[in-house]
Amino acid sequence: MNSFLSAGYTQFKNYDAYGNGRISVIVSLYIYIILSCFNIYNLNFSLNQTFFFVIPAVLAIGAAHLNNINSFQQRNSTFIVFMVFTACGVFGFTIAEKYNTYALLVFSFALYFALMTVTSFTGFTQYRGLIPPVFVLSFLTILVGGAGQFYVAVNRCISMAVAGIIAYLSLQLIPAKYYHQIWFNSANMVLKRIIDQLELIVINKSGNVIFHGDCVIRMNNSLGFTKVAKHEKDFQHCTTKINQFYFGIALTYSNYAKYNQNGCLSNLFSWLKTAYPIFKEHNSIPADLIEQIVRNQYTAPNSDIRNLWQILHEISQLWNSLCISNR
């Protein structure tokens, strides 16, 4: 059983390379437990009321942790917009259900048009992806009864508003260091891309190039979650150095014979291959590997390669500092 769970978690971890999904699951469970505890004191307990008190807020938490969310401000605004959009849909479908099927169709088109219009304005375009889940969740209103009753529609919106406030305040209590893992995972993906390219060049003698900027862009964007960190400058400097190292390695591909004198690129590849499991687990780089960097930094026959070792040394120092501060 343990091996099955371990294998399942490993597969999920490989799929969720940047960590947004894992954080989303943990935070959603945390919010669900809090809302469930508050709902115990609902004297007029009903399954329908519980649905509108818990489900929209939990789904909003999931939407606020999608892969395109790169800062606390974006996380919070996505949560609020999701709740507001859903409240509008729930209210409208509850009222429209009183009438015939045509009324539901008219309101469905009206809601879709309204949401598309709102998300066409500057500053709201990033929320267009919320429309499908909001629409589905709002439409589920039809399945839980209360057709056409105005006070029921108002009561549902009030329940969602109270749950939204509780969930939002609870969301602010989560330590920022958990979101720093997104940056660590993003930086690790850049280093993995470097290793894969060096393996193609050095080991397989391949001419294929996989130096694409998507992973670098993702790492740069993830700095939004480090804005409130004590070591924000270290996150920024380390990101800058990884960028320099990434594009420095990319330049060596243009003249492999020149830069691989005496196995210079092979040494870089060997060091990165050895250190990668350490980067992957977000651990500090041990002293013996740093000594190897210093040694190659002064003995490499090519000045460009020596500069790469220098950058790698700075990355290692900053990485160790960040690992210590985020334990």
Tell me the pLDDT tens digit for each residue of 91-125: 988 888 777 778 888 888 999 999 999 999 988 99
HSE-CB of 320 using CA atoms within 13 angstroms: 12
Q: CB–CB of 37/43 below 8 Å?
A: no
Structure-block tokens of residue 260: 């691989």
Q: CB–CB of 223/190 below 8 Å?
A: no
Tell me the pLDDT tens digit for each residue of 176-213: 889 999 999 999 999 998 888 888 777 766 666 666 67
pTM for the whole structure: 0.86
The rounded distance, in Å, linking the Cα atoms of 155 and 97 is 16
Reply yes or no on whether the pLDDT at 22 is more than 60.
yes
Could you tell me where the DSSP H helices lie in the chain? Answer: 2-15, 20-39, 47-63, 72-96, 101-118, 131-139, 150-171, 177-198, 214-221, 232-252, 256-259, 264-280, 287-299, 303-325
